[in-house]
Homo-oligomer: A and B are copies of this chain.
Amino acid sequence: MPTVDFWYEFASTYSYPAAMRVGALAAARGVALNWRPFLLGPIFAARGMMDSPFNLNPAKGRYMWRDLERICARLALPLRRPEPFPQNSLLAARTALALEDARRPEFSRAVYAAEFGAGEPIAERATIAGVLEAMGLNAGDILERATSAPVKDKLRSETALAERLGIFGAPNLVTADGEIFWGNDRLEEGLDWALALAG
C-alpha cells in the first residue's frame, strides 16, 4: 500500500478542511497516511516573518478568510475564527506526537474542530485536555508526556525535516519520491501521484 506523509500545522487555516477531508480521500484510493504535525513558526521566523502571512498582508488575509468560508460552506463544515489568530499550536503539536500513531488522526481532527469549527483556544491546556478526555484518554498522563524531552525533541526534528524537504506552508502531502503537494487544493493530486508511483 502506498504511503503518503500528511504534514500539517495546527494553527493553519487551510489545514482544517484538509485534515477533515484527507482520511476519506486516501482510504478511497487505498493510500496509507502518515500524519506528521510540525510548526510553521520556526520556518517563518528563519525568513524574518514573525506573524502569519495572512496578518502581515491584510488583503491576503481578508481573501483567505472569505475563501475558507466558501470552502467550509461547500463541505458543510462549521467555521468560527479563533481569537487571537493564529493560535499558538505548540501544545497541540506536542500532544499529537505524544499519542500513539493510531489515535493521531482522530485527535487532530478534534483539535481542528475545536479551533476553527468552534473558535476555541487550542493554546490552552483545558481545551486539549477536553479533546483527549472526549477520546476516552487520560489527559493528565498524555499532557505530561507531551512536555517530556523526547516529545519536544521529536517536534523540533520533525519541523527541521519539514524545512529540509522544502516545506514552506501547510498543509502538504509529500510522496515517496519527495514531491510536495501544498494546500487543501492539492490533496487529490498528491494522493493520485502516490498511486501512480506505486502502480
> Contact between A166 and B62 (Cβ–Cβ < 8 Å)?
yes
User: Could you tell me which residues of chain A, from 126 to 141, have a CB within 8 Å of some CB in chain B?
Assistant: none
**Interface of A toward B, CB cutoff 8 Å:** 47, 57, 59-60, 62-63, 66-67, 70, 163, 166-169, 179-180, 182, 185-186, 189
The copy count of this chain in the complex is 2
> Contact between B59 and A182 (Cβ–Cβ < 8 Å)?
no
> Contact between B63 and A182 (Cβ–Cβ < 8 Å)?
yes
* Whole-angstrom distance between the Cβ of A69 and the nearest chain B Cβ: 11
Residues from chain B with a CB closer than 8 A to the CB of A66 are 179-180
Residues from chain B with a CB closer than 8 A to the CB of A63 are 166, 168, 180, 182
Main secondary structure of the interface of A (DSSP, over half): helix
Instruction: Given A47-B57, A57-B47, verify A67-B182 contact (CB < 8 Å).
Output: yes
Of A59, A179, A185, A189, most B-chain CB atoms within 10 Å = A59
Complex Cα–Cα for A186 and B68 (A) = 13
What are 16 residue pairs bridging A and B, where the CB atoms are less than 8 Å apart in the complex?
A47-B57, A57-B168, A59-B163, A59-B166, A59-B167, A59-B168, A60-B168, A62-B166, A63-B166, A63-B182, A66-B179, A66-B180, A67-B182, A67-B186, A70-B189, A185-B185
